[in-house]
């Protein structure tokens, strides 16, 4: 009988795990076509010309670092906006004194927080996308350098402001908690005194009654007395139980508020400091190109040395945490985008030289234009790819550490949010423009990352390998079936979701 029950349990885990993994995978696959469509529109539209001109201004490495830093900064900012808005909405709803509403809809605040996160992430991405498109079309790629620098200073100011605000709220919360604790102690002491007085009164009455008539006490009056005494004891127990439940509820709400406040401060810290290494890398590399020192080998050596030094400084920091880890990853992703940009230009030059040796007439201007064109295409494609990986990872870092009891609801809710966001973006594509659509799609990718991260957490928490393998298979099959049959990219995104889902950023 035991082997049969074990087999049934394995089959059930496999079916449920595959279904949940498929839902998360389908959410990721649904974002593939819209993102590819937006990238195709960029590389085939008028916005490509400023990038091609930017290669001549800042060099291929400078263009790669600028595009990489801009894409990753936008992706990180949209993810942080969603998380902080969700935590702020949850805090606001918890602190509301409408207890009847909370009792009627206990999960309303979390649903509202999820909806607010999805909308804020999408809106933030759309706004940043429109700003980037306007800057590039009006002032060229070099304007991105100034925009990134100003935004970095602004994020640091926001971090300081939020730190001061949270410190003030924490102090007021501590004082309020102390007042509530003192009030509760006073109520408890009052209840104990009343209980003691009632007990003394009952004992006195009992002695008087016993002295007056022992026989009467042992008869019907004694029975009534015992019944009244038990009823009074039951009332005392119920009062103590209610007081205990009220205290536990207050402690639970206090703990949730502290955690949400910590989430806000941590993510604003992430917003303020994670983009600094990328900004420094882009500024140094683009600066060499602007001042005429954009030679590939020389700038590449400087860029490589700069990235290694900053990574070493971050890793050696005494306060190394999740945010510095993300900063290092973003910096290396920016470096990878720059290398791919240069590699595309070198491939174009090699192809041109082979064509000239084969007898085709190609001028030096045509070769240079072809190199710049290929470098621009690769920079945009690499920027899209890196930003998508970043959104999937950050989304998984949100969905993975959640309470295991609600992971199935998170998977389904985030998947539904992804589909709804994609529909809204498609409907508003003419209003948002190309840049707005590209930025808004990051919000949908982030929602898909939340679903994928929750599915990865479910896969790890199964009691057997059957549940883990079936959930992973569901993630892969769902993403491949709904999206494109690109096994390498899909497998890489699932791997990133697993890695970030296992990291607790708090």
- C-alpha triplet 76, 306, 308: angle, nearest 5°: 80
Q: Using CA atoms, how far apart are residues 276 and 268, in angstroms rounded to an integer?
A: 14
DSSP 8-state secondary structure symbol assigned to residue 405: G
Q: Using CA atoms, how far apart are residues 151 and 505, in angstroms rounded to an integer?
A: 24
* 378 or 252, which is more confident: 378
320-336 b/e (C-beta count within 10 Å ≥ 16 → b): eebbbebbbbbbbbbbe
Q: Using CA atoms, how far apart are residues 40 and 35, in angstroms rounded to an integer?
A: 9
Averaged pLDDT, 167-186: 50
Residue 230 is predicted with a pLDDT of 66
Residue 2 is predicted with a pLDDT of 43
Quickly list DSSP for 117-135. HHHHHHHHHHHHHHHHHHH
Residue 375 is predicted with a pLDDT of 83
Residue 356 has pLDDT above 60, yes or no: yes
> pLDDT tens digits, residue range 93-130?
777 754 444 444 456 777 888 888 888 889 888 999 88
Q: Using CA atoms, how far apart are residues 307 and 305, in angstroms rounded to an integer?
A: 6
Lowest mean pLDDT among 20-34, 189-203, 321-335, 358-372: 189-203
* Both tokens assigned to 76: 């990180």
SS3 365: helix
Asked if residue 373 lies in contact with residue 60, where contact means CB atoms within 8 angstroms, the answer is no
Burial of 1: CB neighbours in 10 Å, binned 0-12, 13-18, 19+: exposed
Quickly list DSSP for 417-460. HHHHHHHHHHHTHHHHHHHHHHHHHHHHHHHHHHHHHHHHHHHH
> pLDDT tens digits, residue range 179-225?
455 555 555 555 555 555 556 555 555 555 555 554 444 555 555 65
> Across the chain, what does the average pLDDT equal?
77
Best CA proximity match to 412, nearest among 11, 35, 22, 105: 22
Q: Using CA atoms, how far apart are residues 283 and 298, in angstroms rounded to an integer?
A: 16
Residue 382 has pLDDT above 50, yes or no: yes
- With pLDDT > 90 as the criterion, what percentage of the chain qualifies? 0
Best CA proximity match to 141, nearest among 61, 212, 206, 40: 61
Residue 106 is predicted with a pLDDT of 56
Residue 175 is predicted with a pLDDT of 40
> pLDDT tens digits, residue range 145-159?
888 888 888 877 777
Name the band, by pLDDT with cuts 50, 70 and 90, for residue 362.
low
Helices (H) and strands (E) in the chain, counts: 16, 0
Q: 418: which residues sit within 8 A by CB, 6+ positions away? A: 27, 30, 31, 444, 447, 448, 451
> pLDDT tens digits, residue range 450-505?
989 888 888 888 877 888 888 888 889 888 888 788 888 888 888 888 888 887 76
Q: Give the domain ranges of the chain.
A: 13-95+107-161+267-501
């Amino acid at each position: 009988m035991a082997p049969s029950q074990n087999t049934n349990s394995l089959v059930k885990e496999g079916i449920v795990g595959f279904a949940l993994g498929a839902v998360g995978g389908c959410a990721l696959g649904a974002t593939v076509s819209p993102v590819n469509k937006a990238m195709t529109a960029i590389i085939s539209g008028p916005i490509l010309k400023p990038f091609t001109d930017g290669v001549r201004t800042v060099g291929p490495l400078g263009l790669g670092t600028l595009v990489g830093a801009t894409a990753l900064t936008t992706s990180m900012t949209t993810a942080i906006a969603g998380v902080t808005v969700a935590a702020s909405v949850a805090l606001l709803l918890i602190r509301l004194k409408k207890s009847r509403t909370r009792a009627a809809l206990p999960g309303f605040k979390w649903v509202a927080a999820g909806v607010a996160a999805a909308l804020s992430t999408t809106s933030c991405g759309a706004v940043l996308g429109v700003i980037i498109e306007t800057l590039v079309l009006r002032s060229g790629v070099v304007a991105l350098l100034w925009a990134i620098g100003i935004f970095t200073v602004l994020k640091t100011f926001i971090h300081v402001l939020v730190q001061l605000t949270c410190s003030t709220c924490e102090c007021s919360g501590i004082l309020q908690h102390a007042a509530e604790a003192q009030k509760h102690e006073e109520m408890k002491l009052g209840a104990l005194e009343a209980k003691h007085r009632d007990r003394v009164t009952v004992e006195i009455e009992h002695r008087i009654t016993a002295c007056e008539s022992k026989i009467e006490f042992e008869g019907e009056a004694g029975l009534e007395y015992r019944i009244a005494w038990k009823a009074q004891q039951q009332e005392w127990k119920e009062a103590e139980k209610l007081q205990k439940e009220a205290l536990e509820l207050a402690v639970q709400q206090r703990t949730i508020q502290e955690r949400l406040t910590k989430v806000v401060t941590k993510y604003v810290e992430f917003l303020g400091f994670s983009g600094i290494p990328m900004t420094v890398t882009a500024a140094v590399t683009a600066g060499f190109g602007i001042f005429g020192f954009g030679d590939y080998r020389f700038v590449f050596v400087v860029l490589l040395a700069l990235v290694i030094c900053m990574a070493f400084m971050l890793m050696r920091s005494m306060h190394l945490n999740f945010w510095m880890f993300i900063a290092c990853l973003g910096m290396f992703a920016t470096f990878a985008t720059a290398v791919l940009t240069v590699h595309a230009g070198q491939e174009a030059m090699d192809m041109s030289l082979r064509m000239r040796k084969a007898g085709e007439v190609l001028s030096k201007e045509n070769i240079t234009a072809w190199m710049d064109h290929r470098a621009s295409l690769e920079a945009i494609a690499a920027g899209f790819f890196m930003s998508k990986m970043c959104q999937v990872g950050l989304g998984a870092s949100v969905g993975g550490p959640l309470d295991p009891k609600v992971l199935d609801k998170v998977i389904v809710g985030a998947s539904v949010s992804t589909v709804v966001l994609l529909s809204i973006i498609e409907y508003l594509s003419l209003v948002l423009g190309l840049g707005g659509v590209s930025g808004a799609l990051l919000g949908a990718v982030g929602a898909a990352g939340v679903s994928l991260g929750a599915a990865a957490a479910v896969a790890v928490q199964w009691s057997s390998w059957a549940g883990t393998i079936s959930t992973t298979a569901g993630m892969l099959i769902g993403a491949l079936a709904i999206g494109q049959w690109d096994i390498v990219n899909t497998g890489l995104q699932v791997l990133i979701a697993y890695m970030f889902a296992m990291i607790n950023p708090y």
